[in-house]
Amino acid sequence: MIRLLRAVIDSAALRHNLGTIRAYAPGSKVMAVIKANAYGHGLVSTALALGDADAFAVARLEEGIALRAAGVRAPIVLLEGIFNAEQLAEAAHHGFELVVHDPLQIKLLEAHRDARRFVVWIKMDTGMNRLGFRPEAFGPALARLRALTVPSLELRVMTHLARADERSEPMTIAQIEKFEATLAAAGLTGVQRLATSIGNSAGTLGHPRAHGDWVRPGLALYGVSPFADATAAKHGLKPVMTLETTVLTVREVKRGETVGYAGAWRAERDSSIAILAAGYGDGLPRHLANGTPVLVAGARHPLVGRVSMDMIAVDVTGAPKVTAGSRAIVWGDGLPVEEVAAHAETIPYELLCGVSQRVPLELK
């Protein structure tokens, strides 16, 4: 069935992007970040398409359980960790790897009695000031984890970069140096070193020193550039989601007439206005600016008027081939989501994650 509006997910592009990321960090394993419904691309279907990934990262326990229920047997890392004994038991049952970033989580592990193997990622806060042990608290936290009686406990260590998307920003190097210095001060060098993970998408593509043993790409997997000054194509990435819609009708609007709520756009000439099936009920920002490009019947045309719940208006004056039933692309193949995000004064993450549940995902 051809739907009025759909998000077409290109599984081949997903696999291509994973291969591109491996080429950027050939000495690292890849932990594919598929939290938040795989950035709007479908949690389970994305995991199944990325079967060659070395591990998956999700934010919360429920996401990991959904993957296990779908038959995903690869390692799954809980980036936010667990927060009570029941969650810890559930994580042990499903064989999840835990990120530990708070003393409460260490306390829960100390009280836990289970013979199953655990992989624990201790998170160091090197400047993000969000999750993790500050450098001065890292050593004591590490000592407590090493003293655990949990059988077959494997410790690893990670941090998160705050400004890696700004390639000239010195904070990234400062974070990496703080990470390395803290590990050295804790004696984690040579044969005592632990496996490390530093680089997000921007760190992976732009900072070889951030690769570590594991990279954690998210946005780049979906074919989107993490850098404001470079396209995804420049990095060899292909867009995975194409948000396709349909022209409902084409209206002739006289010069001086307005279109949409509050008369926010007024025609300066006699105009042909295509009404498309997409709106803020589907995840488009209501404040998407006039002039935002939309691909209609293969050509770019400007959005006009306010985004409404179910529809947008696009000026297709001089394009007689655009009729009711014509296909259009809001973002994706031929129209990068990064470009649309700039017109919305937001970031691509928000547009992708914001696609609503009423928009069907179709794999190709």
Residues marked active site are found at: 35, 261
* Residue 209 Ramachandran class (φ > 0 left, ψ -120 to 50 alpha, else beta): alpha
Element (H, E) at 121: strand 118-123
Q: Look at residue 231 and give its three-state secondary structure.
A: coil
Distance CA 155, CA 120 (A): 5
CB 198 within 8 A of CB 176: yes
- Phi and psi at residue 75, to the nearest 5°: -55, 140
Distance CA 326, CA 297 (A): 6
List, as own/partner pairs, every contact residues 1-4 make where C-beta atoms lie below 8 angstroms and the sequence separation is at least 24, other chains included: 3/360, 3/362, 4/245, 4/246, 4/248, 4/277
CB 120 within 8 A of CB 97: yes
Say how far residue 273 (Cα) sits from the centre of its chain. Answer: 34
Q: At what angle do helices 103-111 and 85-94 cross, to 10 degrees?
A: 70
Distance CA 293, CA 302 (A): 5
